[in-house]
Amino acid sequence: MTAEAVKLPSSFHKDGVALVRQMEASGWTGRLGASGHVFMFAPDGVTTCSITPKAGSRRHMTNQVAVYRRWLREQAVAESETEPIQTEAAPEPEPAADPVDTVAVPVEVPQLCPECLRPFATKQALSVHHVRVHVRVNCPVCLQPFSPGNLDRHRATHRRELEDPEAVLAEVYRLRAEVAEWQALAEDAEARVSALQDIRDRAVAALLGE
């Protein structure tokens, strides 16, 4: 049963479309990410490949094609190892060897980031990526968002500002001026609202003949 083909947008570059269709013909499955990238997954559940929607550098496309060709070579080698060897005469039956205990080696499934669907080999790598790229913490002083790794460096700038008395005093005066300006605007807005209410009351009284 053939997997459903990935629906690529019309803006997807032709080299990427050709590579995606070749992979699908070989049994790969794909998923279109939110950023427009196509994430392809090989039938072995391990090999993955990310293809950009626009024609990027020649090195990028070379890397994606190399991943696919390497996988094809591995499949050809695996098939050649399972093919029976043709011999002219049947060999003498050999005595059965003692059974050997085998331990199944677990296959590592790629970990996908829930935010950008980028694949990672381990959960630890996925966790580091998620914290560095997607987690944001607001600075308690200026409320600007930063990643946890950059927040400490940013807060150091505030500590240096507090060490300079002249800078602190200038900031206090600036904030006082802003407060005074906002108070004046609020008082002006309140006066305008009061005047409009008075005009509305007089208009209603005139319409009612009072």
- First-to-last C-alpha distance (Å) of the chain: 85
pTM over 0.95: no
Give backbone dihedrals phi and psi of 86, rounded to 5 degrees, phi first: -80, 125
Given a cut of 50, whether residue 186 has pLDDT beyond it is: yes
CB-based contact 120:129 (threshold 8 Å): yes
Q: Check residue 30 and give its pLDDT.
A: 85
Percent of the chain exceeding pLDDT 90 equals 1
Which band of pLDDT confidence, cut at 50, 70 and 90, is reported for residue 1?
very low
Q: Which of 40, 17, 15, 14 is nearest to 27 (CA)?
A: 40
Least confident window among 155-159, 184-188, 197-201? 155-159
Given a cut of 70, whether residue 99 has pLDDT beyond it is: no
